[in-house]
């Protein structure tokens, strides 16, 4: 007999359903998912020779105790999950992805001639594109939310409430409240200009690759590193995110 052990949950109470894979039907429902319960059930059913289970340690221990001669295998869902995780890990380690073109020769970049772009490659993103307009709309929505919180905080302050109570009711930290009240006016957030960023000398190269269709931040960062860039991956990633949002 081949059985399948899988945990089921109702809020925070877990149980175990036992399914006969030969007949494709459930055969029992255990009250929990502990190793002892699983071992006791398997000892009462010595006809089980193959157990398909998830990766829970309790199931592994229970099957080992209750049916030491049974073959333990991963169920199909976890096999697919394991495959997905392996593929994701591999893609994170690859310097070049199938949709990201190989870097152009160094002499091409030094002459200032951008690498050729494929006609099928998407055009660069600019503020007047739908993506740029969505980014601006999101920024305005965040400003409106902050303005409402600021006005509510000022109103509660006039009522004489404590800073801790105001912070809890408004949903911001006491440190933010101190900064707001010290400003004596709604503090507008300044947009980052990046004027002193270490990536500035390499922006022509970044834009050349971007216009050629390369959208992978890891690939771009490694390309810049090969040309002497000493900044971190996070700096290049933030710049790429800005390009995707239509904020070159």
Question: Residue 120 pLDDT more than 50?
Answer: no
pLDDT at 118: 41
Angstrom distance (rounded) from CA 122 to CA 143? 31
What sign results for the dihedral spanned by CA atoms 32, 37, 43, 48?
positive
Going by their DSSP bridges, the two strands 13-20 and 50-53 should be labelled as unpaired
Question: Residue 109 pLDDT more than 70?
Answer: no
- Pull the structure tokens for residue 89: 């890990």
Q: Locate the domains of the chain by residue range.
A: 2-77, 106-121+192-244, 130-183
* Most confident listed range (53-62, 99-108, 188-197): 53-62
- Pick from 211, 216, 208: nearest CA to 99: 216
Question: Residue 107 pLDDT more than 50?
Answer: no
- Pick from 73, 70, 35, 28: nearest CA to 55: 73
Classify domain 2-77 at the CATH topology level: Nucleotidyltransferase; domain 5 (3.30.420)
pTM comes to 0.35
Residue 183 CB coordination number (10 Å): 11
- Residues sharing a CB contact under 8 Å with residue 25, sequence separation 6 or more, in sequence order: 19
How does residue 128 score in pLDDT terms, banded at 50, 70 and 90?
A: low
């Amino acid at each position: 007999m081949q059985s399948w052990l899988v945990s089921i949950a109702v809020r925070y109470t877990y149980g175990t359903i036992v399914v006969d894979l030969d007949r494709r039907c459930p055969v029992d429902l255990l009250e929990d998912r502990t190793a002892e319960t699983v071992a006791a059930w398997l000892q009462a059913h010595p006809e089980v020779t193959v157990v398909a289970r998830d990766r829970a340690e309790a199931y592994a221990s229970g099957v080992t105790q209750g049916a030491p001669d049974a073959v333990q295998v991963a169920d199909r869902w976890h096999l697919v999950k394991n495959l997905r995780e392996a593929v994701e890990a591999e893609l994170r380690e690859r310097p070049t992805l199938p949709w990201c073109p190989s870097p152009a020769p160094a002499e091409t970049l030094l002459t200032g001639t951008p690498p050729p772009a494929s006609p099928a490659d998407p055009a660069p993103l600019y503020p007047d594109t739908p993506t740029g307009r969505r980014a601006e709309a999101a920024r305005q929505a965040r400003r409106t939310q902050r303005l409402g919180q600021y006005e509510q905080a000022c109103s509660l302050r006039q009522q004489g409430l404590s800073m801790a109570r105001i912070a809890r009711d408004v949903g911001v930290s006491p440190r933010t409240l101190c900064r707001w009240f010290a400003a004596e006016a709604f503090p507008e957030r300044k947009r980052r200009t990046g004027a002193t960023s270490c990536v500035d000398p390499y922006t022509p190269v970044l834009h050349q690759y971007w216009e050629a269709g390369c959208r992978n931040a890891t690939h771009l960062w490694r390309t810049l590193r090969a040309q002497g860039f000493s900044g971190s991956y996070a700096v290049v990633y933030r710049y790429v995110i800005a390009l995707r949002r239509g904020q070159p």
